[in-house]
Amino acid sequence: MNDHENMQSESVPDLQQTGSKEELKSGEKLFTYVLFSIGLFFLWQSIMLWLRMSPPRSASAAAVPLFTSGLWTLLSLMVIIENTRKNSPLTMAKSITKKLKLCVSYVLPKEVFVIICAILVYCILLICKANFYVVSSLFLYGSMCYLTGKNLVKNIIWTAIFMGFVFAVFRVMFGVVF
């Protein structure tokens, strides 16, 4: 065994040996509940569509949405059940104020909050009739620079490639005018 493998085996404790549970990542629990809720909504919609179809319903256009949304709901429920076996940082906190502070930072990390604010600004600018290509380029470049924090030139290249693709597909092929 080389030094790197030896260091990894020493630094990562075996969860079964220590008896501690695996810890949930930031936002993981809330995200699974959101996925489950969306899945339930689409399952309900696809059941309503399926009931309006004439027999044979299993061969109707509603069969695929029903199967997909049912699978989505089932799998997200399985993830929720699996997450009950994991710890979160909130389980260690004693006081209510400490739990509340941890909850806000745990459910909504700084990076997520900043990107949500950027999306809101992006949407407001589009509603105010700002130029789609300029606003989208700035949003995309700014988001990539914030999240990666490096490769500013590479981010410009990726932004240009993406915006060129958007222009080619929507403006040239489909004739959508922004």
pLDDT tens by residue, 68-85? 999 999 999 999 999 888
Give CA separation, 2 vs 6, 10, 44, 52, 56, in Å: 6, 13, 55, 64, 63
pLDDT at residue 116 greater than cutoff 50: yes
Between 157 and 26, the more confident residue is 157
What are the φ/ψ torsions at residue 23 (nearest 5 degrees)? Answer: -95, 140
Average pLDDT over residues 109-120: 90
Examine residue 56 and say whether the peptide bond preceding it is cis (omega within 30 degrees of 0). yes
Least confident interval from 14-18, 34-38, 143-147: 14-18
Per-residue confidence (pLDDT) for residue 139, from 0 to 100: 96
Q: Rounded CA gap, 81 and 18, in Å?
A: 22
Read off the tokens for 88.
Answer: 């979160």
CB 25 within 8 A of CB 31: no
Read off the tokens for 76.
Answer: 């997200």
pLDDT at residue 89 greater than cutoff 90: no
Q: Rounded CA gap, 30 and 26, in Å?
A: 9
pTM for this predicted structure: 0.51
Least confident interval from 45-54, 104-113, 149-158: 104-113
Q: Which residue pairs, CB below 8 angstroms and at least 24 apart, start in 15-20? A: 20/87
Q: Rounded CA gap, 130 and 120, in Å?
A: 14
Q: Where are the domains of the chain?
A: 28-86, 110-173
Q: Rounded CA gap, 68 and 47, in Å?
A: 11
Per-residue confidence (pLDDT) for residue 12, from 0 to 100: 41
Mean per-residue pLDDT over the chain, rounded: 82
Per-residue confidence (pLDDT) for residue 26, from 0 to 100: 67
Q: What is the pLDDT of residues 147-176, one digit of tens each?
A: 988 888 999 999 999 999 999 988 888 887
- Look at residues 24, 1, 8, 42 and name the one whose alpha carbon lies nearest to residue 92: 24
